[in-house]
Structure 1
Amino acid sequence: MSTSAQRTRRRWKKRKSLRAVMGCLQGSLRLSESGRFSSRQSQPTTTSETLAHAEETARRPWAGRAAGRQVTVLADKVGGQPIRYADAVVVARDGTVYFSDASTRFAPADWGGTFEASVLDIIEQSATGRVLAYDPATKATRIVARGLAFANGVALSADEKNLFVAETGKYRIWKIDVQARDLDVGNATSPQASVLFDNLPGYPDNLMRGLDGKVWAGLVKPRNPAVDKMAGMPFLRSVTLRLPRALWPVPRPYGHVFAFSEEGKVLADLQDATGAYPETTGITETRDRLYVQSLHARGLGWLKRMP
């Protein structure tokens, strides 16, 4: 670890960790004793209800056990390495659990929370993010793909032969074969992986399947010219890592979600330049509404679904 990273780590270890609130996303993947994910559990979400439940669980960890429920760790390592930042998850019909390990460098539990760890990883551009797969039959976890600059949202294709993966730090969305094994997407070309969207206008976050074949993506923040300029300046990025959070080049609020087809065609594009509902991370689509998720909003947004 570099000296600058060590200094930043010491600084942020002093801050209150958000592990209690976002424990379900940090370090390991957990499942209820029933051994099944509901449709709600199988999709990444940041609703106020989920956060409230996480906070209550953190305050009273015995409550679930008292009600006859049990939390089981399915995977906290892969290839002998710890899973530091388990992020988004999707479950195939055969029970295979696909999930992203956003960064092997910055664990939320060590760096002050999920947001802090994500910003640091994106600024450093070490591209240590991975997509992992857990097989419930063998209880083994394997690396599907690695070399991603903050691996984030994941969604399965309709035939479940491919994964759509948001690479937040590079403004990209990938299409990756679920049969890929330890594929380094950052240093090699392969027929098993292709970039579906490149040079997006913001940071892609959650990917969630919608209706009629759509996949929804949330752009949590717009691109920041200051961050873009640092892409080829490792020294400047190193200096930025030492700055207090108030001086980080965090982009302004801007609401932006879009839907796309599995072939990469944009089907819907919704934007709010005022950023009144901040940090739009994803969309859950029903027949009558679009429910908008956010990283830090106090409630769950929604708008009427257009036919």
Structure 2
Amino acid sequence: MDKLGAFSTFLAVADSGSFSRAAKQLGKTPSAITKTISHLEEELGVRLLVRSTHHTTLTDAGFIYLKTARQLVLSLEEAEEEISQLRAGINGSLRIASPMAFGKAFLADACADFISIYPNIQLSVTLGDVPINLEEGGYDLALRMGESDRIISKVIARNTVFLCASPVYLARKNVTINPDNVHTQDWLLYRNPLLSRSYWRASYLGEQFKFPFPKKPLVECDNYDFLLTQALAGCGLLIVPQWSAAPLIAQGLLVHVMPDYLIDPEAFGPNLVAVYPSHHRSTRKVVAFVEHVKNFITSRALD
């Protein structure tokens, strides 16, 4: 029996929930699909699928077999793609998930540079702040802020953060912001369930400090880009990641205040990381993209 063909047939039935839909997808007859599944079940000595009038479901054994079959088929597809890239250079589709704020700050420019270097790559980029299941979505990798202790991940930059305000705000307040008055300023507060809304931490000459947030910030929001717009308009202080702040500071649109204080990035973690699906090997196109983004961030002093 063609075991790889049987795997692909089983996956098609399991994913579509129907022998007839799987047959249409694979360009085969329903009887051929039924015959393949029957042979596979006979070889294993267990039922993998339960067929009803309108739907097909997996047995317990089917669920176990599905995971292994999917990994084997994906591994073979990746190996074939690697061989293709050895022959023809880096090519094919690359699907990426990223926080929305990365897009405007650096990812859009980094991707433009990447496809100019590798014109045979087709990029598909999903920007959003809701966590995505990489395996279910068919993603090759995701860029995230967080720890680097995941089994399959790579650090691409430090997640350094600055306390910033616009020149307009500083001129309006006409005061040098320091640890004694920082809590009395107008604050723009990023709302995140992982972050404390009571205080923020920073260190100076090795000494740790906790600074209170005002109980009533001027603006609070769960979208970083919204708050950044408010900061640029002169509304108040905002804690800004360096990958976002650096070009704005260079353009004179933001000012790094209390620059001698190293701010703890809190629950976001100390790094920007590339995270891979659990089944994924680091193919040449993935390695090339991650290294490109890493070098892009470093060359522009965004970390």
Same fold per superposition (TM over 0.5): no
TM-score by length of 1: 0.19
Answer with 1 or 2: which has the greater Rg: 2
Q: Which is bigger in relative contact order (C-alpha 8 A, separation at least 6)?
A: 2
Select the structure that is richer in helix.
2
TM-score by length of 2: 0.19
